[in-house]
Amino acid sequence: MTEDGGRRGAGPAAGGGRRSAEATRAAILRAARDRFAADGYDRATIRAIAADARIDPSMVMRYYGSKENLFATAAEFDLRLPDLSGVPADRLGRELVSYFFTRWEGDATLPALLRTASTNPSGAERVRAIFTTQLGVAVGRVVADPTEAPRRAGLVASQLLGVALTRYVLRLPPMVDISPADLITWLAPTIHRYLTDPDPASH
């Protein structure tokens, strides 16, 4: 629970009285994302999420129906990948890696999703859908042969999610201590190669 989350709407808003339905839904989603991030899917309870959002647990169920559905909605996020189609080929790796750090550094959503996906089948399905569709589409726009897009997106995901895992979830000291600028320099050629090198399977 964030400081802000704990104080927001205390008192009069309890029970959703003065909040619009939209504001209530947003407060629930914020609280759910924080809780799933901190506790993982299994330990995060509807009761705790409702307490964080300062509303009654029955309201959470009224708006979202079930914990699984709440998670699916909380994790229904947009990677907001940039359109890379105008980027010169030799800048693709650096552009995608830089974007990754701009987006995820200091945002707990991706670690939360990885934690949940590691131990929960619907969390894993959610991550598969997000990366297959969004990253697959972004990569498909820039690779020479679109039929190779899924495999190239998979390889890109293996490195970027590996960074997310080691830096934000497992917190391996050398991966935590390295600056984003140095990490970008290390990772850009890797991502570039996954996007542009000939596929060994096509030979």
Structure tokens at 37: 């991030």
Q: Pick between residue 8 and residue 141 the one whose CB is nearest to its own copies.
A: 141
Helix, strand, coil share of the chain (percent; to 5): 75, 0, 25
Q: Pick between residue 18 and residue 193 the one whose CB is nearest to its own copies.
A: 193
Q: Pick between residue 56 and residue 148 the one whose CB is nearest to its own copies.
A: 148
Q: Which of 127, 138, 142, 143 binds its own copies (CB under 8 A)?
A: 127
The interface region with its own copies, picked from 2-10, 16-24, 95-103, 117-125 by CB under 8 A, is 117-125
E strand or H helix at 78: none
Task: Tell me the DSSP string of 42-95.
Answer: HH--HHHHHHHTTS-HHHHHHHHSSHHHHHHHHT---------TTS-GGGHHHH
The interface region with its own copies, picked from 15-23, 72-80, 87-95, 176-184 by CB under 8 A, is 176-184
Structure tokens at 29: 């989603």
Is the Cα torsion angle 16, 19, 25, 31 positive or negative in sign?
negative
Q: Which of 66, 102, 128, 133 binds its own copies (CB under 8 A)?
A: 128
CB atoms within 10 A of CB 100: 24
Interface with its own copies, residue 154, by CB under 8 A? yes
Q: Pick between residue 54 and residue 167 the one whose CB is nearest to its own copies.
A: 167
Closest CA to 172 of 185, 181, 183: 183
Considering the complex, what minimum distance in angstroms separates the CB of residue 95 from its own copies? 18
Q: Total binding residues for its own copies by CB under 8 A?
A: 50
Interface with its own copies, residue 90, by CB under 8 A? no
CB atoms within 10 A of CB 192: 20
Interface with its own copies, residue 65, by CB under 8 A? no
Interface with its own copies, residue 99, by CB under 8 A? no
E strand or H helix at 173: helix 173-177
The site for its own copies (CB under 8 A) is made up of 40, 42-43, 114-115, 117-119, 124, 127-128, 131-132, 150-151, 153-155, 157-163, 165-167, 169-175, 177-179, 181-182, 185-186, 189-190, 193-194, 197, 199-201
